[in-house]
Amino acid sequence: MSTPAENEASIKQESGPSGTVQDKPKKIVVRTGDGEVFELKEEVAMEMETIKTFFMEDNISYETVMPLTNVDSWELVKVIEYCSKYVELKNKENFHKELKAFQDEFVKSMSPKTLLSLSNVANYLEIKYFLDFICQAIADHIKSKDVEYVRELFGVENDFTEEEYEMAKTEAPWAHENLDKDLY
């Protein structure tokens, strides 16, 4: 999201010879599932394939407010934060190092459930690098955790029959040993 000064600068640049402002203010407006409206910088919005396709495919005017019914406002805030940073760092020399530092800070206080919500959003908005990052964070979190923990986290039920579960367990008994005990 930009400052008023930046807004003014971009509008000035777009004035045609006759002094009229063109109808592409380089801002994309979306509405989240919980009804909040967000203005995104075009360069950040275009990092999200879903949004990019929506506008580019049928050449839809940026004046249209795109509905993002599957995204909550707090999730979008986080996504914008990550993508803005990514775009900012993208062409810098120390890209990898600085991105890593940002990534560590970004996930530092996030609960596993938060990470899961964000992975859903990253998948829906089709932001590959963000999805890869969040999935890795979740993967690191579930390593060596037992089956009950993973069910709790992902909100899934044990829908196996007794036999199916036993079979799944005995297929690789060594995978169920030496797990993290210090969980909750």
Partner 1 sequence: MKRLPVECVSQIISLTSPRDACRSSAVSCLFRNAADSDLVWEKLIPSKFKRIIFESSSSSSLISMPRKALYFHLCTHPIIIGDGHTSIALDKQSGKICYMVGARGLVIAWADTPAYWQWMTLPHSRFSEVARLNRLWWLDIKACISTNNLSPGTIYAAYLVYQLSEIRSGLAKTPIVLRINYRQRTVVRLYSVILDPMPQRARLRGDGWMEIEMGQFFNEQGIDDDVVECSITEVSNLKSGLIVEGIELRPIHM
Footprint of partner 1 (CB under 8 A): 70, 113, 116-117, 119-120, 123, 131-132, 135-136, 138-140, 142-144, 146-147, 150-151, 154-160, 165, 168-169, 171-172, 174-176
Beta bridge partners of 29: 39, 65
Task: Tell me how far, at minimum, the Cβ of 35 lies from partner 1, in Å.
Answer: 18
Nearer to partner 1, 4 or 155 (CB): 155
Beta bridge partners of 37: 31
Structural tokens at position 178: 């030496």
Shortest Å, Cβ 14 to partner 1: 39
Choice between 95 and 165, CB closer to partner 1:
165
Q: What is the smallest separation between the CB atom of 82 and partner 1, expressed in angstroms? A: 17
Pairing type for strands 37-41 and 27-32 reads antiparallel
Q: What are phi and psi of 21, to 5 degrees?
A: -85, 130
- Which CB sits closer to partner 1, 7 or 119? 119
* Closest alpha carbon to 9 in 33, 25, 23: 25
Q: Going by C-beta distance under 8 Å and a sequence separation of 6 or more, which residues neighbour residue 85?
A: 99, 102
- Least distance (Å) from partner 1 to the CB of residue 71? 10
